[in-house]
Amino acid sequence: MEQAKNLGKKQAVRFVTVDQGQAGQRVDNFLMRELKNVPRSYVYRILRKGEVRVDKKRVKPLRKLSVGEVVRIPPVYLTEKAESEKVPKSILDMIEKAILLEDDDLILVNKPSGLAVHGGTGVRYGLIESFRQLRPGLPFVELVHRLDKETSGIVMLAKNRPTLLALHQMMQTAVKDKGIDKQYQTLVKGRWQGGRKQIKNQLKKQRGEKQKVKVLSSNNDSNDGKTAESFFSPIDYYNFEGSDYTLLKVELVTGRMHQIRAQLADMGLPVLGDSQYGDFTSNREIKKKLGLKRLFLHAYFIRFYLASNGKDYQCRIPLADDLHSVIEGIKEEGVKKHE
């Protein structure tokens, strides 16, 4: 009784009929979406206890749902914090203005730096939670992929499950095989040698200081890493106060955690503003003299074909204003130097 009291407001039992957009989901993932305001542990507890039924039968978390099945969702308790958590109107307004494209199947958003794509430890809300509050009438909206909190640029949201699954499948397919062409721009310390290069290596997670997760290059043949593949091409070269810098285009073939940052740092070309893999002295100087306060990484281009609606999608956006200002500051310094 005390536990129920601490959990907060009780919701009544619900019966949900699985539709086309929900078909194929695992039961646990279906419940996570239906019960957004309850802890994950609570969801698995009601599954273990048999309180969740599909067509009146107990089910396991990994069991996949089919169209027409009826899911019994038992009475659950919402914590007061979860129930009252609201995204500030200023954030909702910012996201509304950042929508690049929207149709019946998907949404492209220009995510600003500093906004996480989803809430989590120490993060009250992110892009997806904000968008659900912005569009409460949407029956389905999910992240297709992720960007680091500090990275700005194009993020895709799916408005139905078939589109979500199709885009996930394409993201696992090479561009040449009609996958998704995703491109970034980044400014690194150092001078890029040569033209377009393919970088393919192994990345693995390693716990570093303060339990931060880092991805480190690993070129051995062990099975503890995951293959990461990118193409890097130079866009422009700069010199600022005696140091070389290169603006690069990055084409992703795989999408590993911190892939671009880890691969470039491993090559001795750290991304400016990178607090985990970067050159801390350069970061401090660039922040002081040019105002760069975050990671110089921007997802500026995406292109793909969605077979379900027969549409070709292509979107290109300029560098974020703060990143553009850094480039202009470096160029101005170069002009002054040669006057």
Tokens of 213: 């997760």
Alpha helices in the chain (DSSP H): 2-7, 27-34, 40-48, 80-84, 89-97, 127-134, 161-171, 259-266, 280-290, 321-338
User: Ramachandran region of residue 336, left (φ > 0), alpha (ψ -120 to 50) or beta?
Assistant: alpha
Give kind and range of the element (H or E) at residue 70: strand 70-73
DSSP 297-338: EEEEEEEEEETTTTEEEEEE-PPPHHHHHHHHHHHHHHHHHH
Cα pseudo-dihedral 279, 280, 285, 287, rounded to 10: 100
Q: Count H helices and E strands in the chain, helices first.
A: 10, 17
Rounded CA separation 139/142 (Å): 10
DSSP 3-21: HHHHH-EEEPPEEEE--TT
CB 271 within 8 Å of CB 277: yes
148 is catalytic: yes
For the chain, give percent helix, strand, coil, nearest 5: 30, 30, 40
Catalytic residue among 19, 28, 148, 244: 148
> For 110, what's the count of Cα atoms within 13 Å in the CB-facing half-sphere?
17
Q: Which residues are catalytic?
A: 148
